[in-house]
Amino acid sequence: MKEAEKIKCLIIGSGPAGYTAAIYASRANLSPVLYEGIQPGGQLTTTSEIENFPGYPDGISGIAMMDELKKQAARFGTDIRPGIVTGCDLSQSPFQVTIDGKKSVEAKTVIICTGATAKYLGLPDENKYMGMGVSACAVCDGFFYRKKNTAVVGGGDSACEEALYLAGLADKVYMIVRKSYLRASQVMQERVLNHPKIEILFNTNTLGLFGENGVEGAHLIRFAGEPNEERFDIAIDGFFLAIGHKPNSDVFKDYLDLDENGYIQTVWGTTKTNVAGVFAAGDVADPHYRQAVTAAATGCIAAIEAERFLTRG
């Protein structure tokens, strides 16, 4: 049997957290190896324009920004490879990690930056209009919908937060809620119910989207399957999904502490997990902010903590 490759610092994932961790780890002479994962560049590669990342006053596309981060990591010596982690044993050091179901590596430290995947409704139109009116992050893309009409799908706290954020920019915000009530906390319910720009469409589901060069409206159905079923359209420019995210942490669940939603739990103020030598950065450990700049920051922290771990033995 072929001997496993020995790695000092293994980085899993290639979004802002992964590439930033790679930049710092390579500059610290940790000879990091980074596996890009299922979506090279992470979620930002699906974002058409990024205007809130420091250093880009004119904005930059998600793909272009990730390409620049990748080049920067490679410039300092990061070994960047395609591949997906399909198995691991984090019970003892060195840690055993399987790539693509066949290649085995041994790592002295592991930095997990696998991100989280936004949940979608599963409509073909979501893919059709991705980056052209469909988004899963109001804070990321809301600026493009100033003085326009938008819709948020969901009825929890996250959906209310997204709707309130958009209401500060857009002329009109619809909340499309499939149930007859909001699942959000009482204070969030009161805020959206009393906001003059927000209209809540209860008992409503989305059938599809329409538009020539981007989203121009949504086909909706109210009271589906009931005698009073009603189909109607709304005119919108932006369609925001706020029905949750799924952290990409399943492969690590037997070894790492996760919260009730699957996010990797870290020691407060650090990227340290319950396993010494294993660190988690970016959206896979962040249920709250999910921003490129916060992901990058934790990638930096993880690399510094990995270097200190190796130095102290």
Positions annotated as catalytic residues are: 137, 140-141
Q: Are 106 and 95 in contact (CB under 8 A)?
A: yes
Residues 6 or more apart from 312 whose CB is under 8 A from it? Answer: none
- CA distance linking residue 160 with residue 178, whole number of Å: 14
Angle between helices 16-27 and 62-75 (to 10 degrees): 20
- CA distance linking residue 102 with residue 113, whole number of Å: 21
- CA distance linking residue 163 with residue 274, whole number of Å: 36
DSSP helix/strand/coil, 88: strand
Neighbouring C-beta atoms of residue 306, cutoff 10 Å: 29
Residues in the chain: 313
- CA distance linking residue 128 with residue 131, whole number of Å: 9
| DSSP codes joined into one string, 31-82 | --EEE--SSTT-GGGG-S-B-SSTT-TT-B-HHHHHHHHHHHHHHTT-EEE-
Question: Taking Cα atoms as reference points, which of 236, 278, 224 lies closest to residue 95?
Answer: 278
